[in-house]
């Protein structure tokens, strides 16, 4: 009975997030924006919702000029779909492969343009799967994981090889209901049971893995699981990683930095943004 109650609590939180303005990403997929780069936003198990729209709003507030797309990776089945999205490991990995194919198609049309994948909750795990599925010789610029539902002991070696700048993991120790209890009952999207990397960070250190702890003072209130998607948080702490040519956010590409360690996200908050030249072309999703 306790497990059932906990599961219903998890589902209720996601439903409460809302799902409005389902065409919200259309103004951000113009040819002009596609010429500047691509940001793929992967929702949690709830699918498109106010969480992902808030991520777009935060990036827009920060001056993002690149194309943004919310990618629907899950199963569009009310209630049951969310459970499947969390627990169907094979289906989740197939979703990662589809996203990798989409990235490569964009790169064929727009070579040398920056590509970032932002994944929230379950979408964080799918972002890792997508990077792993990229063909040899292909890379994205980076992954940004927000309260990710992926095992804290997950081996990121393969995904990091496919990321030019690396992976930044924003984790929230206050999110124990979803990323501790919830992932112990239902598992993470990679099939592990227990605390996820979105709760206390990845256990292992890797070159080009940056871990940033979310604190209450950074989020301006709100629920713990949605904290990292709020426009203020995204524009202040996430956008610099997306819009900087070199990581850590705001670096010039020179000097030495310690990676794979945990710390407060405010330590590497706002950074210098480098503009990128543009090329002409056209990209359409087949």
* 246 within a domain of the structure (yes/no): yes
* 149 within a domain of the structure (yes/no): yes
Are 106 and 286 a contacting pair, CB within 8 Å? Answer: no
Q: Which two tokens stand for residue 98?
A: 């589809």
Are 237 and 249 a contacting pair, CB within 8 Å? Answer: no
Q: Of 50, 170, 180, give the one whose Cα is nearest residue 188.
A: 180
* 256 within a domain of the structure (yes/no): no
* 129 within a domain of the structure (yes/no): yes
Domain that holds residue 108: 2-18+25-251
- Which are the contacts of 283, defined by CB distance < 8 A and separation ≥ 6? 31, 34, 38, 105, 106, 109, 110
- pLDDT (tens, 9 = 90+) of the chain, 286 residues, equals 354 345 444 444 444 444 444 455 678 999 999 999 999 999 998 888 899 999 999 999 999 999 999 998 987 766 677 777 787 888 899 999 999 999 999 999 999 999 999 999 999 999 999 999 999 999 999 999 999 999 999 999 999 999 999 999 999 999 999 899 989 998 999 999 999 999 999 999 999 999 999 998 898 777 899 999 999 999 999 999 999 988 987 665 433 333 444 444 434 443 333 232 222 223 333 2
* 276 within a domain of the structure (yes/no): no
Instruction: Give the pLDDT score at 20.
Output: 43
* 272 within a domain of the structure (yes/no): no
* 279 within a domain of the structure (yes/no): no
- Which of helix, strand or coil describes residue 10? helix
CATH number, domain containing residue 87 = 3.40.50.1820
The total of other beta-carbon atoms located within 10 Å of residue 253's CB is 10
* 283 within a domain of the structure (yes/no): no
Looking at the structure of the chain, the number of domains it has is 1
Q: Which two tokens stand for residue 281?
A: 């072309």
């Amino acid at each position: 009975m306790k497990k059932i109650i906990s599961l219903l609590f998890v589902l209720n939180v996601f439903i409460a997030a809302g799902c409005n303005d389902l065409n919200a990403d259309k103004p951000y997929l113009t040819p002009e924006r596609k010429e500047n780069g691509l940001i793929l936003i992967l929702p949690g198990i709830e699918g498109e919702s106010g969480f992902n729209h808030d991520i777009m709003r935060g990036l827009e507030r920060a001056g993002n000029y690149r194309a943004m797309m919310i990618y629907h990776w899950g199963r569009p089945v009310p209630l049951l779909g969310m459970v499947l999205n969390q627990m169907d490991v094979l289906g989740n990995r197939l979703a990662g492969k589809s996203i990798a194919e989409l990235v490569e198609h964009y790169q064929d049309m727009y070579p040398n343009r920056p590509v970032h994948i932002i994944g929230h909750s379950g979408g964080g795990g799918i972002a890792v799967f997508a990077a792993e599925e990229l063909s040899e010789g292909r890379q994205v610029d980076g992954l940004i994981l927000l309260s990710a539902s992926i095992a804290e002991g997950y081996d990121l070696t393969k995904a990091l090889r496919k990321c030019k700048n690396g992976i930044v993991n924003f984790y929230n120790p206050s999110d124990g209901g979803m990323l501790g209890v919830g992932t112990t009952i239902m598992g993470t999207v990679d099939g592990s049971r227990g605390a996820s990397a979105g709760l206390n960070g990845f256990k292992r250190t890797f070159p080009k893995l940056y871990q940033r702890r979310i604190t209450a003072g950074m989020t301006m209130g709100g629920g713990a699981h949605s904290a990292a998607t709020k426009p203020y948080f995204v524009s202040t702490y996430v956008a610099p990683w997306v819009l900087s040519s070199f990581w850590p956010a705001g670096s010039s590409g020179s000097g030495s930095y310690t990676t794979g360690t945990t710390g407060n996200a405010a330590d590497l908050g706002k950074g210098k943004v480098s503009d990128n030249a543009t090329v002409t072309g056209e990209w359409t999703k087949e």
